[in-house]
Every structure is written in structure tokens, then in C-alpha cells.
Amino acid sequence: MAHVPVLEAMDRHGLKISALAGTSMGAILGALYASGQTGQEIRKKIRRHAGLDVLKRKTFADKSSQVLKWLKMVKFGSGRGGLLRAEGFLDFLLDEIRDTTFEDLKIPLQVVTTDFWTGEEVVFESGPLLPALEASMAIPGIFAPISIAGRVLIDGGMVNNVPYDRLADRCDFTIAIDVTPRRHPGKRQIPTIVESILGMYDILIDTTMARKLANSSPAIYFRPDLDNIMTLDFTKIQSVWAQTELSMRELEKQLGSKLGRLSAG
């Protein structure tokens, strides 16, 4: 959700996005934006579908109906793979995208996944959109892996969580948005099972990202300071937006400087 204020900033600066690459929720938000929607339009739709206005109301009926709506979107899986299956959630998002293939999108998009058995990075940029998005967000142990063309695919964050390198030869300059939350010791010294899985995932992402930045950097790198937010913590969407917006001054400064140099050149 932290991508939304960033997309709004891109729109304010009049940036023409020539290509997008994303992993996991970054792929989903990338697909929404690539379908032709503005950052502000995406925010409004998320507010409506997440029931953020409804949850301000005090009646039990209003809140209960919204909880049931989200339970229908993400359901417990059966058999191997993960605790949850994500078809309902992604079907809901694709209703908003209204594009079923990569070719239908207004902006070229690359979606990053990981081959579970070989550990290779597998990138989709053509064909059906839904399976690629579902595979890209298949966090091991949480969502079931997805089989595409004989390959078992999981979350692309295992190999390339912020895939700005995929755009280096397609754009005048690249902007990398890293929305990995900060991890701080909580009240419990021993994490829960879900905290352990997601914490392990975040540690891996932080480690691989540090190595990647040491080897090659994008023109602009922005990581909002997100505190007390866990991956998949959809009850804190408004907090994510508020915290991201507090960090936006640095991004706005970088954008202004970069665009100024391009204009002068």
C-alpha cells in the first residue's frame, strides 16, 4: 500500500512512466497503474474496497459486513503449499484492472517470480496476467505456490524484491521503491509462527537488497520509514499511507533534483 502515495507523487510531477517492473504487491499495484489508473484513483478504490470509510462507523452490522467481505477474498487453502489461497483477492483486484493479459495494459509491465525448485528468477511480461500476479505474491508458507508451464513458482521477493534492474535499458532513469517494513523488537521476545515466517522473509529481502544496491544503484532509491507494520497487515492501510507521506519529502527532493538536471541538459 505504500506504493500508492509514491504513484500519486509521480503523477504530480507529470512523469511519463515508460515501463514498470514489480514483485508481489508491487506487481499488483504496478498492474493497477499500468492499466491506466492514476495513483489517486487507485487510492480511492482501495479505500472503497477495503471499507476504510465503513470501518469508521460505529454499528456492528457495518463492520461485520466488511469483515465477511475480506474473508471471502482470501481463503484458507487445502492440501500442500500454504496457509492461504489468493484467487479471490486477485480476482477482486483484476476486476479493477479490467485487463486480463499483459498485452492489454497501457504501460509495459514485468512481473517477477521465483522458481521454487531451481531458485531462478522467472519474469513474465506477456500472456495471462492473473497467474503471474498470483505466483509473484506466493510467499512461502503463507500462500500456495503456483504452477505455470511446468514450473512451480513462488514470491519473486526471494530473488528480486525491487526489480529496478529489469528497466535499466528501457528508461531514461529508474526509480526504485522499496516498501519492506522496518523490524523492531516487540513486546514478545519469541515471535508467533506467522511473525517467524514473515520475519524470515523480510530478513532475506533486506540482505539481498543490500547486496544488490552495492553492485548497482537506480537513479532514485526510496524506502519509506514504515514502523510497526507487518507484511499482509491489511488492517493498517491508513497507517501505511500516513507513514509513507511523512517520508515523501525526501522522494520529492530527489525527483525535483533529477528532473531539474534533465531539463537543464
- Which residue stretches of the chain have pLDDT < 70? 51-94, 184-188, 263-265
**CA–CA gap between residue 21 and residue 33 (Å, rounded):** 11
Tens-digit pLDDT profile for residues 179-195: 988 776 665 677 777 77
Q: Taking the model in full, what pTM does it have? A: 0.84
Residue with cell 469508521: 56
Closest to 42 measured CA to CA, from 10, 3, 14: 3
Q: Are 27 and 173 in contact (CB under 8 A)?
A: no
Cell of 29: 499495484
What confidence score (pLDDT) does residue 68 get? Answer: 44
**CA–CA gap between residue 79 and residue 77 (Å, rounded):** 7
Query: Exposed, middle or buried: residue 90 (CB in 10 Å: 0-12, 13-18, 19+)?
Result: buried
What confidence score (pLDDT) does residue 4 get? Answer: 96
- In one-letter notation, the amino acid at residue 40 is Q
Residue with cell 538536471: 261
